[in-house]
Structure 1
Amino acid sequence: MWFIKQGMKYGAALLGLGGLALGIWMVIFMIRPLPMASETIGLQIPAGASVRGIADQLVAAGVLTEPYSFLLMVKLTGSGNKLQAGDYALNTPLQVLSLLDILKHGTFDQFKLQLTEGKTFTDFRQKLAQMPGIRHDTVMLSDHELMQLVSGQDQHPEGWFFPDTYFLDAQSSDVDLYKRAYQKMVQHLTAAWEGREAGLPYRSMYEALVMASIVEKETGVEEERPQIAGVFVNRLRKGMRLQTDPTVIYGMGTRYRGNITKKDLLTDTPYNTYTRSGLPPTPIALPGLASIQAALHPAKTNALYFVANGQGRHVFTSSLEAHNQAVRAYQLKKH
């Protein structure tokens, strides 16, 4: 009898521990962000779909990595007969708890696109062309035709679309997003241009946009952007060539394979600021607001040079001798 009582005692304890472990697992699984394959995933659940069929769809779409945890969660929460058919746009970050709520209430979310600072117009077009759930009305248009449609002007598209997070309703046109991103850039650039520092060496607002794109590509450190802009403004004022690698890379186009050589620096293109004076003919990327502000409010500095220090930042110098010392200290020692 004693053995039976002890067995029942330990069994109850184990059941209690098992229940606690299950409870902890449920909480973690419900609130942990799902490892979604992309930032927006379109999902169409047909009428009459089984819970297992929905779980398999979520795995196939890249929302879940396996179906079993989701199936267990549906069973434990009693959600099995509450999941609704329909077209869904699932956006990151997404948790299982939020996913169940969306599927139970038929919340047909908007499709999200994150346009990142420093990306090119080509990157933008490719990303938007892959966006699910919307109409791709511009796929067959050339860049020139697209800009005519969006702006009504004969413009090079690079730089004219503001990096931000955009949302589109299902089955809306990609033209809507292009127009919104273009108009947002025009608004930010115009406001910044009107409040610009006096005496800058730009002949137009467009040249400020070109400079902002170069600043964007040169550094990802926000507080360095005015310093980078200050160096380039100083060089323009002195008639010095900008000698900035990102412009060379942009001019290389598809020839760029991740490494820039001395031959590349000496090969003339309209964007090679080692062989040509002044600014390149167009922006080289989509600049964010911080880079636009830096281009129009550059740091007051004597610096004419900068070199990467290998830790994500730059060392600024005002003479060629000091610059060469910095190059030897931070660049040549790596080779």
Structure 2
Amino acid sequence: MTLIVLVSVVAVAAFYYVISAYQQPGPLTTNTHFVVPDGAGLAQISQMLERNGIVSDARVFRYMTASYLQKEQTLKAGEYEIKAGMSMKDIALLLESGKSILYSVSMPEGLTVQQMVKRLADDPILEGPVPNELPPEGSLRPDTYKFSRGTTRGEILAQMRAAQEKLIDQIWAKRDPDLPIKTKQEFVTLASIVEKETGKDDERAHVASVFMNRLNKGMRLQSDPTILYGLFGGAGRPADRPIMRSDIDKQTPFNTYQIKGLPPTPIANPGRAALEAVANPWRTNDLYFVADGTGGHAFAATLDEHNANVRRWRKIEAERANASGDTLNGGSPGGADAEKPPKGN
């Protein structure tokens, strides 16, 4: 009888010890990251936790977690942040929740497909290769994409492409029916030009109206960013390479100083604001715009008005050059000599 009582006491004590050990603060003194591999079972995870000093007893973690969660395959693969002093019970709940650490990669508006793919390739967390064949220009949505460790570059790229297709369809369906652009390809192409022309939210629809008016009148768009894309493609213009006046005359399929209408493809990936601006541009008579010295543009409906705006901009350029000791580069498109909307790039 005494032996039975003793065994019972020991069993009860062991039971309460296991429960207490499972719920009491753990041995970690600082936060740490822990990766649950794909396909890892509870036994393997328990050993890894003990080996990394995250739990004090792998057996306690394994048996209590199996009992508490009812099944062994509920712990999800991923990278987790384990807080200092976290109990075994809380660790099990965290790994069961699947709330792994999220990383992010940002894709600003106006990047080309080539530039976006390079960002994916350079990200140190993403896995797998980038595709050999790039998606079409304009087909990737600019945004910040969150992902967990183990996500592949191909998965993010597919997500970007699906998001852009959905966005384009939504905005295209709500477009002004009187636009001179008739296809989604033309829509995205013009939106990409607007995206590259201005970063000001309150200007995009105005810039879009200028290009719509020029298309309606059969005028060339004469957009500086199309010169650059024709010369440098998706890699973009080197930072130390100005636009030369001679560049205007270079024949490329994208140079809207030389071609009529739109380029054959977009020149970048436009964001929501640029797409919405092109779908529903302002209704104006403006045909020209030029930098105004504040980061925005001065718009004009006539060439005389535009030439006056150009003279003001040239004066600002000269004053800035004198103040800095620089000399003006005469190669930037612009001036009062053509039916064009020169920009201050």
TM-score (norm 2): 0.63
Q: Which residue of 1 aligns with 2:291?
A: 308
The aligned residue for residue 196 of structure 1 is 175
* Counterpart residue identity of residue 186, structure 1: E
Matched, 1:117 2:109: yes
2:190 maps to what in 1? 211
Q: Which runs of 5+ in 2 are unaligned?
A: 1-26, 37-80, 92-98, 319-345
**Does the aligned pair in 1 maintain the 2:138–2:267 contact within 8 Å?**
yes
Structure 2: distance between partners of 1:313 and 1:171: 43
Structure number with bigger Rg: 2
CA distance in structure 2 between the aligned counterparts of 1:161 and 1:255, rounded to whole angstroms = 17
Superposition misfits of 4+ residues, deviation over 4 angstroms: 105-108
Residues 102, 108 of structure 1: 8 Å contact kept: no
Distance 2:30 2:303 in 1: 71
Q: How many residues align?
A: 234
Asked if the contact 1:308/1:331 (under 8 Å) is kept, the reply is no
Aligned position for 2:260: 277
Residue 230 of structure 1 is matched in structure 2 by 209
**Distance apart, 1:232 and its partner CA:** 0.1
Superposition pairs of residues 131-170 of structure 1, within 5 angstroms: 131-138=123-130, 141-143=132-134, 147=135, 157-170=136-149
- 1:37-76 equivalent positions in 2, closer than 5 A: none
Is residue 331 from structure 1 mapped to residue 323 from structure 2 by the alignment? Answer: no
Given residue 143 of structure 2, which amino acid in structure 1 is its aligned partner? D
Match of residue 242, structure 1, among 221, 224, 242? 221
Contact 2:223 2:257 in 1 (8 A): yes
Query: In the aligned structure 2, how far is the partner of 1:332 from the partner of 1:275?
Result: 28
Aligned-residue offset at 1:135:
1.5
Whole-angstrom distance in 1 between the partners of 2:32 and 2:245: 60
Which 10-residue stretch deviates more, 116-125 or 295-304? Answer: 116-125
1:334 is displaced (CA, Å) by: 1.5
Q: Which residue among 144, 150, 156 is the counterpart of 1:171?
A: 150
SS state at 1:325 partner? helix
- Does the 8 Å CA contact 2:180/2:216 hold for their aligned counterparts? yes
Q: Cα distance, 1:133 vs. partner? A: 2.2
- CA 1:255–1:206 in 2, change beyond 3 Å: closer, same or farther? closer
Task: Please tell me the root mean square deviation across aligned C-alpha atoms, in Å.
Answer: 2.4
How far 1:288 sits from its partner (Å)? 0.8
User: Equivalent residue for 1:127?
Assistant: 119
Letter in 2 for 1:266: D
The gaps in structure 1 that reach 5 residues or longer are: 1-78, 89-100, 148-156
1:192 & 1:313 partners in 2: Cα distance? 25
| 2:299 paired with 1:319 | no
Q: Aligned residues: percent identity?
A: 36
Q: Is the 8 A contact 1:117 1:287 kept in 2?
A: yes
Separation (CA, whole Å) in 2 of partners of 1:313 and 1:191: 29
